[in-house]
Structure formats: C-alpha cells, structure tokens
C-alpha cells in the first residue's frame, strides 16, 4: 500500500432524510495517516449524519468511502464487516454504546471478535485476555479493577475512557469521535482531550474528531474542516484558524469562543 494513501477518503457523500432535509450535500473528505482532522460546525450542521454515513450505519443517497486502499462502499457481508472494524467510533454517550449487562472486561475486547487474527496476536503478546484488557485500561489511565464492573457502576468520564480503550483494542486505522466530551464537565473534558492528544502522539492513530467546540478542535487537531448546513465551508491547518483569509462563517464561530 502506498504511504500516500490517506487513512480515510470519502467522495461525494450526500444524505437526504425522509421528508427532504438534505443533511449532507456532496461532501469530500480526506484524512492523512496519523492526522487528526477536526470537523466543526454548529449544532444541526450535519456532522453526526456525515459520521454515520462514513461508518456505514446510515444509508446515503450517494458517495464512496475508502479506508486505506479498500473501498468500503464496494464491499458487503463479512468482508465489509471485517474491513469496516478497522475504523472505530466513540460517541457522546458512552452509556448507550456499552451493553449494561456485561462487565467492562467483556465489552472492551468486543471489537476484536470480528478480527480473530488480531485477537490471537494481541492476546498472545499480552499473555491472556485479561492482561490485554488491563493494558488497554492502563493506556487510558483507568484502574484495572474497573474491568470487573458493569457500565452502570462507573462514572461518565471513566466510561468514556473505557470506550476509547475499546476503540484502541483492535489497533484501529482510524477513530471517529463524535462529540466525545460534550456530556462531561469541563475538567473531565480537558482530561479526555489530553488523553486523545497523547494517544495521537504515541500511537499516530488517525482521527476524525467531531465537535461544536472550536477550542477543543484547536487543542487536538492538526487540521480543521468547517461544516455549515450540510456543506464544507473551508479546510485549513489548525494554526491558520485565526488567519486573515478565513471565511466569515469561520470567524463567527471563532468569535463565539472568545
Ligand atoms: P450535528 O451533528 O452537526 O448537530 P446532525 O447530523 O445531527 O447535525 O443533524 C443535521 C440535520 O439533520 C439537522 O437538521 C437534524 O435535525 C437532522 N437530522 C438528524 N438526524 C435525523 C434523523 N434521523 N431524521 C431526520 N432528520 C435528522
Ligand atoms: Mg452531532
């Protein structure tokens, strides 16, 4: 595979909801390997819809999606499932994404179930399933004793860390994070953002970081793309957020965070 192949490439993504609302309008997107791209825009601009289209959990009107060299939109069945698992997601509400009846130990390794080769290798390297789960929890600064708890018995911030550990279990090529800190209080938000930044620096995992919070985007992302009413307004390196040539809409967003 060429080293210049983006981690994720999407072309011509459009999504109309029943009733006619065009939530995503012919959007193109590329995330380079090891890069964190922040997708920012006000509530209702279509960020989550786009994320769900990329993740294949929302049927689209049109569009093509590649993960590395493989076109996901050309795959189906088991091949699709296995390939798609290399892209993991973390959502705003960790509570919804964990099975309330399973201990975290079971849930945290769940993405590996459809990747038997990765599971075997990682469990062997770690010296057992439990040990692998412990390593993952340690990586996200969670006490390993929490592995035996049910999701309802840990805090929101801890569960969001567990969701990140679960996403990492499979050594993903890309993680899509949709407002991962929006339901946490400010000090917990900062700790999760620090964790994400550390992971990016250490593991060079590619990320699509979705947020309505420009300050968060600025902290974690290498590049920023601004979305409004289903369309991309502009994309630029994070350090150019306040540059003179920014679109008036981007400036409005910046001013909201002053
Ligand atoms: P964001 O994540 O940027 O807040 P969304 O993708 O959630 O934006 O929503 C984009 C638009 O699509 C909004 O107008 C929202 O009301 C609408 N929308 C989102 N989900 C649905 C749905 N399941 N059915 C109909 N309309 C939806
Ligand atoms: Mg959203």
Asked whether the predicted pLDDT for residue 141 surpasses 60, the reply is: yes
Query: How much is the pLDDT for 3?
Result: 62
CA 197 / ligand 2 centre spacing (Å) = 21
My answer on whether 73 and 4 are in the same domain is: yes
pTM score of the predicted model: 0.95
Give the residue-averaged pLDDT of 22-47: 97
- The residue whose CA has the least distance to atom 16 of ligand 1 is 44
Total of domains in the chain? 2
State which ligand 1 atom lies nearest to the alpha carbon of 227. Answer: 3
Query: How much is the pLDDT for 2?
Result: 56
My answer on whether 177 and 258 are in the same domain is: yes
Alpha-carbon distance of 221 to 121, in angstroms, equals 31
CATH number, domain containing residue 63: 3.40.50.300
My answer on whether 2 and 16 are in the same domain is: yes
Does residue 256 belong to any structural domain of this protein? yes
Q: For residue 48, what are the domain limits?
A: 1-86+173-258
CA 109 / ligand 1 centre spacing (Å) = 31
Asked whether the predicted pLDDT for residue 96 surpasses 90, the reply is: no
Nearest to 192 by CA among 154, 153, 158: 158
- Site to substitute for ligand 1 among 45, 49, 209, 229, most atoms within 8 A of C-beta: 49
My answer on whether 132 and 31 are in the same domain is: no
My answer on whether 150 and 246 are in the same domain is: no
CA 225 / ligand 1 centre spacing (Å) = 18
Taking each helix axis as running N to C, give the angle between helix 156-168 and helix 129-139, from 0 to 180 degrees, rounded to the nearest 10.
120
Give the residue-averaged pLDDT of 232-258: 93
Does residue 81 belong to any structural domain of this protein? yes
Asked whether the predicted pLDDT for residue 183 surpasses 60, the reply is: yes
pLDDT digits (tens, 9 = 90+) for 40-54: 999 999 999 999 999
Give the residue-averaged pLDDT of 133-143: 96
CA 46 from centroid of its chain's CA atoms: 15
Does residue 14 belong to any structural domain of this protein? yes
My answer on whether 70 and 184 are in the same domain is: yes
My answer on whether 154 and 179 are in the same domain is: no
State which ligand 1 atom lies nearest to the alpha carbon of 42. Answer: 3
Whether the CB-CB separation of 23 and 46 falls below 8 Å is answered with: yes
Query: How much is the pLDDT for 94?
Result: 84
pLDDT digits (tens, 9 = 90+) for 48-73: 999 999 999 999 999 999 999 999 99
Nearest to 135 by CA among 114, 111, 105: 105
My answer on whether 78 and 177 are in the same domain is: yes
In the β-sheet with 22-31, what is the strand arrangement from edge to edge?
Answer: 22-31, 8-16, 62-67, 70-71
Does residue 97 belong to any structural domain of this protein? no
Query: How much is the pLDDT for 105?
Result: 97
Q: Choose one of 155, 172, 189: the last residue of a domain.
A: 172
Q: Choose one of 172, 191, 219: the last residue of a domain.
A: 172
Pick 4 or 26 by higher pLDDT.
Answer: 26
Which ligand sits nearest to residue 57's alpha carbon? 1
Asked whether the predicted pLDDT for residue 243 surpasses 70, the reply is: yes
State which ligand 1 atom lies nearest to the alpha carbon of 210. Answer: 2
My answer on whether 45 and 143 are in the same domain is: no
């Amino acid at each position: 595979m060429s080293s210049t192949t983006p981690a994720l490439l999407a072309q011509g993504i459009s999504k109309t909801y029943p009733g006619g609302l065009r939530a995503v309008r012919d959007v193109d997107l590329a995330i380079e390997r090891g890069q964190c791209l922040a997708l920012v825009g006000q509530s209702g601009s279509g960020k989550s819809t786009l994320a769900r289209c990329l993740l294949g959990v929302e049927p689209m009107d049109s569009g093509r999606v590649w993960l590395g060299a493989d076109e996901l939109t050309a795959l189906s069945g088991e091949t699709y499932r296995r390939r798609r698992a290399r892209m993991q997601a973390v959502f705003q509400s960790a509570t919804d994404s964990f099975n309330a009846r399973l201990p975290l130990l079971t849930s945290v390794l769940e993405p590996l179930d459809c990747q038997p080769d990765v599971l075997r290798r990682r469990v062997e390297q770690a010296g057992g399933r439990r040990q692998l789960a412990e390593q993952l929890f340690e990586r996200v600064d969670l006490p390993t004793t929490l592995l035996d708890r049910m999701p309802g018995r840990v805090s929101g911030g801890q569960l969001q860390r567990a969701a990140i550990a679960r996403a990492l279990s499979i050594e993903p090529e890309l993680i899509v994070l949709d407002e991962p800190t929006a339901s946490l209080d400010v000090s917990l938000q900062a700790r999760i953002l620090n964790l994400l930044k550390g992971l990016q620096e250490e593991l060079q995992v590619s990320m699509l970081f979705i947020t309505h919070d420009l300050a968060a985007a600025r902290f974690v992302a290498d590049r920023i793309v601004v979305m409004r009413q289903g369309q991309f307004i502009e994309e630029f390196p994070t350090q150019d957020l306040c540059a003179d040539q920014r679109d008036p809409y981007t400036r409005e967003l910046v001013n909201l965070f002053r």
